[in-house]
Structure 1
Amino acid sequence: MTEHTTSGSRPAGGPRRGTMLAVATVGFAVNFWAWALLSPLAPKLKDALQLSPLQQALLVAVPVIVGSLGRIPVGALTDRFGGRVMFPLVSLATIVPVLYLGLAGQHSLAGLLAGGFFLGIGGTAFAVGVPFVTAWFPPAKRGLAVGIFGMGMGGTAISALTTVKLVGAYGGRTPFLLTAAVLAGYAVLAWLLLRDAPGRTVPAEPLGRRLAATLRLRVTWHASALYAVAFGGYVAFSVYLPAYLKTAYGLTQADAANRMAGFVLLAVLMRPVGGWLSDRIQPARVLAASLVVVGAGAVVQAFTPPLAPLGTVAFLSMAAALGAGSGATFALVALLAPANKVGSVTGVVGAAGGLGGFVPPLLMGSVYGRYGSYALGLALLAVVAAAAVLLTATAVRRSARAVAGPA
């Protein structure tokens, strides 16, 4: 036998599902809060250590890259050991680099990069929560449940809103010590409250063999491509939008940052909406509609229309579509991935989404530097969205029908 199932002492009832979902979502938010601690401090650290622009970018990029790639093994480990073990474990492991950065790691670039590397552990919490939540909910409700869990990505906003203010008011160690305390409290809470779903399928194959099998699944590659566009687009805009608005429209840094916050908030709120719609009209349809909106918004914005109202409408439409598309992607994973490989598939797909957010900002900066315009970069986004619509309408739709038809 290559797998077995677990059994629980109580049935997976509705109220208990709600508790599991709430605790998992809090854990996702707390770990993402820790994962994003360095980004708000990057300008201050750049001045203090006289970092070059490349060194500053590397400082911000390292935790994100490690957190994205780390989702692959962590997702596979969650399939094996369950969220009840992995959520506290990831939270406790993240405390180590948080404390290091707060107490000793801010005095050199090498120290920051070492701390940032291990800070990436916090970013792997996403790959713990999706299989954990999926196992607790029936297929008809998984899209909404995973979408609600996905709102935990708002933990990055907690860091953005509090880190610099805490440093200014109480000193450079404060946000790190506070985050470490919250992580420790959550690890205890998770161990006491979380329980893996009764009847959860537990694979017994070696990790390497399971990852190899995961990479042979069509849903892994389809969902990875779609998530690289949907969530990658969200990440790219959340990183680059302030610079774009400041350059293209002459906004102040504060005004651009506030508009970026609105973009992020709308995308976060639309993620569970995308999951909820997927439960009712199939994930492929939601994804196709979302990607059409993204492509249309990119075409409009390529002409740099007046910000009020057309540019604002274009950006907010793209934010809503990217959030809904991100939620629909993991509704698709919950629908098509084998029960004992949801974590492994989530890890690969989550890595693709995280890494997908790095190419567009680099491309947009390069295009503007060469041509003095963002039009080509936005036109390329429209082309990529159109290709993703084609993938969704053909291969993804056929796969979804093959699963939904017999049911």
Structure 2
Amino acid sequence: MGAGRTGGRWIEQWDPEDEVFWKQTGEKTARRNLIYSVLSEHIGFSIWSVWSVMVLFMGPQYGIDPAGKFFLIATATLVGAFVRIPYTFAVARFGGRNWTVFSALLLLVPTAAAFAVMEPGTSYGTFLLVAALTGVGGGNFASSMTNINAFFPLRKKGWALGLNAGGGNIGVPVVQLVGLLVIGTAGAAHPRILLGAYIPLVLVAAVLAAVKMDNLAPVKNDTGAVKESVRQAHTWIMAFLYIGTFGSFIGYSFAFGLVLQTQFGRTPLQAASLTFIGPLLGSLIRPVGGWLADRFGGARITLGTFAAMAVATGVVILASVRESLPVFLVGFIALFILSGLGNGSTYKMIPGIFQNQALARGMAGEAADAYGRRLSGASMGMIGAVGALGGLGINLVFREAFLSSGSGTGAFVTFLGFYAVCCLVTWAVYLRRPAPSRVVASNTEAEPQLSTV
């Protein structure tokens, strides 16, 4: 057994593209691993986003102003973005099952720490440190997606990855619903009830992963592919666009309740009763974005999504200026739904981009498919990490807006400008038609501009 091949169940041979193998044993094994991977990732997202709920419990007795609260949740977002990079490579190094068990147990650290310090009188520096610890939950997405990607054949990856991502994303509204339940029953003075409820759930996720999941021996870290993907302009272009989709989703998820409290004077219970709706709808609709991208082209759906997000942001700006909560809710929830659609369409673009690039270089058939799989797999971890930084940006912009004016209007104007830039980049790189002689024909994605990169 090689390095890392201890303490877990290893499958030495795995070929999901072999239809006989897939029907006889592969599909059953892959689905089982998918179920428990989703559970662990779901809990990870809940712990990562728990400070979006904790700040609702932090009344005047905590002595922290809205800007300080935005910085708390921004800290959790920042750490969650950066740990996605090592988590991406951990699966191949230690095994998907082994790493899922370890990463689940690691969630006990921030949960127990928050349980210990969550009371008035705790220093702001201590809260910052504990919020940073919750960032490890953000890494679970990267390792889970890498692991599940290896289990499924190419024809099933879209469905499997969409289900895996959506099931994980739902951890955000679920922890917010639990927070609503606690505030509605025990009151805003009892945040430890929520934290205490998650400690046994973390243990259950780790035990089930240990008993039910497997490690795939054929999964290896391809350092050459990683280096090549870093040099690819498309990796960074797609990372930028993912900032606009996933960065918006996670940033708004963390900030929504705090904006309702700060700008519209909602009580903790009132804010909690509304906070979960947007993240829930955005999570559920993510697979629809992938399906629409399959049918109409990822770039077209992504462009349409960004254009619609700009319109929704305009509605939010109008509502913010007029202090209309109903209109604000309509616009903000629309942003969640659209960011969920965009999450699905942008991720779906990535394999098509690199496969088209292979075709532009004269590859064909299996060689082009293999190149696309290799580069898209290597780039996804980086794209996911950079995209999550969008959540940091959103919360820092909100912090500055409330510090300077006491309103989030300036922040939304900034976001509107950013979505306009995303529209321009998507159109210019992936939809603008070059000269006919430079067009690459491909039925995987309507992206003729790819041949020029």
Per the normalisation by structure 2, the TM-score is: 0.73
The alpha-carbon deviation at position 406 of structure 1 amounts to: 8.5
Q: Is the 8 A contact 2:52 2:254 kept in 1?
A: no
Other-structure match for 1:263: 278
In the superposition, relative to structure 1, how do residues 255 and 188 fare at CA in structure 2: closer, same or farther (>3 Å)?
closer
In the superposition, relative to structure 1, how do residues 236 and 56 fare at CA in structure 2: closer, same or farther (>3 Å)?
closer
Q: Aligned letter for 2:424?
A: L
The alpha-carbon deviation at position 71 of structure 1 amounts to: 0.4
CA–CA distance in 2 between the matches of 1:241 and 1:96? 26
Q: Aligned letter for 2:74?
A: A
Other-structure match for 1:85: 98
CA–CA distance in 2 between the matches of 1:375 and 1:111? 31
1:97 and 2:110 correspond: yes
Q: Is the 8 A contact 1:238 1:264 kept in 2?
A: yes
1:381 and 2:415 correspond: yes
Other-structure match for 2:88: 75
The structure 1 residue matched to 2:14, chosen from 8, 12, 31, is 8
The alpha-carbon deviation at position 48 of structure 1 amounts to: 5.3
Q: Aligned letter for 1:325?
A: G
Structure 1 range deviating more: 348-357 or 73-82: 73-82
Query: Relative contact order: is structure 1 or structure 2 higher (C-alpha 8 Å, sep ≥ 6)?
Result: 1
The alpha-carbon deviation at position 339 of structure 1 amounts to: 3.9
The alpha-carbon deviation at position 221 of structure 1 amounts to: 0.8
CA–CA distance in 2 between the matches of 1:239 and 1:341? 32
The alpha-carbon deviation at position 146 of structure 1 amounts to: 2.0
1:157 and 2:163 correspond: no
Q: Aligned letter for 1:186?
A: A
CA–CA distance in 1 between the matches of 2:47 and 2:270? 26
The alpha-carbon deviation at position 20 of structure 1 amounts to: 2.8
The structure 1 residue matched to 2:131, chosen from 107, 116, 140, is 116
The alpha-carbon deviation at position 103 of structure 1 amounts to: 4.3
The structure 1 residue matched to 2:41, chosen from 28, 48, 52, is 28
In the superposition, relative to structure 1, how do residues 171 and 308 fare at CA in structure 2: closer, same or farther (>3 Å)?
closer
* Cα deviations by residue, 1:286-320 (Å, 9 ceiling, x for unpaired): 21221121122223443337959865554443322
In the superposition, relative to structure 1, how do residues 62 and 368 fare at CA in structure 2: closer, same or farther (>3 Å)?
closer
Q: Secondary structure at the match of 1:202?
A: coil
Q: Is the 8 A contact 2:179 2:272 kept in 1?
A: no
CA–CA distance in 2 between the matches of 1:264 and 1:35? 14
Other-structure match for 2:6: none
Q: Aligned letter for 1:7?
A: Q
In the superposition, relative to structure 1, how do residues 73 and 114 fare at CA in structure 2: closer, same or farther (>3 Å)?
same
The alpha-carbon deviation at position 366 of structure 1 amounts to: 4.0
Other-structure match for 2:449: none
Counterparts of residues 150-299 of structure 1 (less than 5 Å): 150-151=165-166, 152-163=168-179, 168=186, 173-196=192-215, 200-203=218-221, 205=223, 212-242=227-257, 244=259, 254-299=269-314
Other-structure match for 1:17: 30
Q: Secondary structure at the match of 1:357?
A: helix
Larger radius of gyration: 2
Q: Aligned letter for 1:184?
A: L
* Coordinate RMSD, CA, aligned: 3.8
CA–CA distance in 2 between the matches of 1:395 and 1:74? 30
The alpha-carbon deviation at position 173 of structure 1 amounts to: 4.8
CA–CA distance in 1 between the matches of 2:325 and 2:226? 48
Q: Which runs of 5+ in 1 are unaligned?
A: none
Other-structure match for 1:351: 385
CA–CA distance in 2 between the matches of 1:368 and 1:36? 21
Other-structure match for 1:66: 79
Q: Secondary structure at the match of 1:355?
A: helix
The alpha-carbon deviation at position 125 of structure 1 amounts to: 0.3
CA–CA distance in 2 between the matches of 1:83 and 1:197? 7
* Cα deviations by residue, 1:315-374 (Å, 9 ceiling, x for unpaired): 443322111101222223354565456565333222222221232344355456656876
Structure 1 range deviating more: 361-370 or 78-87: 361-370
Q: Is the 8 A contact 1:290 1:321 kept in 2?
A: yes
In the superposition, relative to structure 1, how do residues 329 and 83 fare at CA in structure 2: closer, same or farther (>3 Å)?
farther
Per the normalisation by structure 1, the TM-score is: 0.81
Q: Aligned letter for 1:144?
A: W
CA–CA distance in 2 between the matches of 1:282 and 1:203? 30
In the superposition, relative to structure 1, how do residues 289 and 95 fare at CA in structure 2: closer, same or farther (>3 Å)?
same
Q: Aligned letter for 1:180?
A: I
The alpha-carbon deviation at position 49 of structure 1 amounts to: 4.9
Q: Is the 8 A contact 1:76 1:211 kept in 2?
A: no
Q: Is the 8 A contact 1:143 1:328 kept in 2?
A: no
In the superposition, relative to structure 1, how do residues 179 and 321 fare at CA in structure 2: closer, same or farther (>3 Å)?
same
In the superposition, relative to structure 1, how do residues 81 and 165 fare at CA in structure 2: closer, same or farther (>3 Å)?
same
Counting aligned pairs with the same residue, the percent is 24
The alpha-carbon deviation at position 202 of structure 1 amounts to: 1.5
CA–CA distance in 2 between the matches of 1:214 and 1:406? 20
CA–CA distance in 2 between the matches of 1:79 and 1:382? 40
The alpha-carbon deviation at position 92 of structure 1 amounts to: 1.6
Structure 1 range deviating more: 278-287 or 70-79: 278-287
Q: Which runs of 5+ in 2 are unaligned?
A: 1-10, 355-371, 434-438, 446-453
